[in-house]
Amino acid sequence: MHVLGFFTDRPTLSEQRNYVWNDLNNSMLEYKRSIGLVSDGGTPFLTDAEVEFNKDMADTMVYGNVSMLGGAALGAAGKFINPIISKIGGFFGKGGSEAYQGFRNTSADFVNGTKLTKHFGDHADDFGFAMEDEYLQGARNFFEKSPTKTMQGFTSEGGTYFQYDTATNEFGIINQYGGISTYYKPVEGLKYWNQQMESYMPK
């Protein structure tokens, strides 16, 4: 069994949300202190609206899709939220996970190329790829890039390898023959990844 980047006792989604929510609050306080937004007593404070905003953000990060945290809200809060996104993997897993350890058979990627056109059509928009070759190279880069603290992975009992990056919301599978089966950004983000672990990770 090959399991990467997980606690032995994986925290529940509620525990993960509370951790992220608390970290967002602390990071916002630090950010406000750094720019001089403090009370008359010289200490930073959070308004009820800011606390509620952080709660909604934590809900989105844990139960939804991290990559969907765009728009004006994230842009305005990016200076204190971006460090949290990079730390999520450190809480959800041990961090610093290894890359894929099995034998890679690139000629078998997307079932010897016969499924590439379909996967490109289904998932290219997730990444903004315009050509099949770009999508194929993006998938290969995902599995070949240097490991980060936000990357998690495991191998099922049948030898299928699953990998997910909590920071970029990239998800991919390498089959038991060493070929990439799929590569995309799941709509439900971390929730989807947790479902994959529940379904396929060896107990």
Return the residue matching tokens 């999520």: 88
Pull the structure tokens for residue 158.
């049948």
Pull the structure tokens for residue 121.
């059509």
Residue 84 has pLDDT above 80, yes or no: no
- What's the pLDDT tens digit per position in 191-201? 999 899 889 98
**Which SS3 state, helix, strand or coil, does residue 103 take?**
coil
pLDDT score for 79:
43
Contacts of 20 (CB under 8 A, 6+ apart): 57, 58, 61, 62, 84, 88, 91
- What's the pLDDT tens digit per position in 141-153? 999 988 888 889 9
Give domain limits for the chain: 8-92, 106-200
pTM of the full structure: 0.55
pLDDT score for 173:
97
Average of pLDDT values for 68-97? 41
Are residues 36 and 66 in contact, defined by beta-carbon separation less than 8 angstroms? no
Are residues 153 and 5 in contact, defined by beta-carbon separation less than 8 angstroms? yes
- Of the ranges 45-59, 70-84, 98-112, the best mean pLDDT one: 98-112
Across the strands, what pairs with 173? Answer: 162, 182
- Of the ranges 40-44, 46-50, 167-171, the best mean pLDDT one: 167-171
pLDDT score for 136:
97
Q: Where are the beta strands (DSSP E) in the chain?
A: 3-4, 151-155, 161-165, 170-174, 180-184
Would you report the helix, strand and coil content of the chain in percent, each value rounded to 5?
Answer: 50, 10, 40
Q: What percent of the chain has pLDDT over 90?
A: 33
Average of pLDDT values for 22-37? 76
Q: Please state, rounded to an integer, the average pLDDT across all residues of the chain.
A: 76
Residue 130 has pLDDT above 60, yes or no: yes
Mark out the alpha helices in 64-115 (DSSP H runs).
Answer: 71-92
When mean pLDDT is compared across 4-18, 78-92, 145-159, the lowest value belongs to 78-92
Closest CA to 11 of 181, 197, 158, 137: 197
pLDDT score for 89:
38
When mean pLDDT is compared across 7-11, 112-116, 138-142, 145-149, the lowest value belongs to 7-11
Return the residue matching tokens 């998932």: 123
* Cα 56–chain centre separation: 18
**Which SS3 state, helix, strand or coil, does residue 154 take?**
strand
Domain 106-200 annotated CATH 3.30.479.10: no
Q: Which helix (H) or strand (E) holds 46?
A: none
Average of pLDDT values for 127-144? 96
Residue 136 CB neighbours (<10 A)? 20
Closest CA to 143 of 193, 190, 109, 187: 109
Residue 52 has pLDDT above 70, yes or no: yes
Q: Are strands 151-155 and 180-184 parallel, antiparallel or unpaired?
A: unpaired
pLDDT score for 40:
63
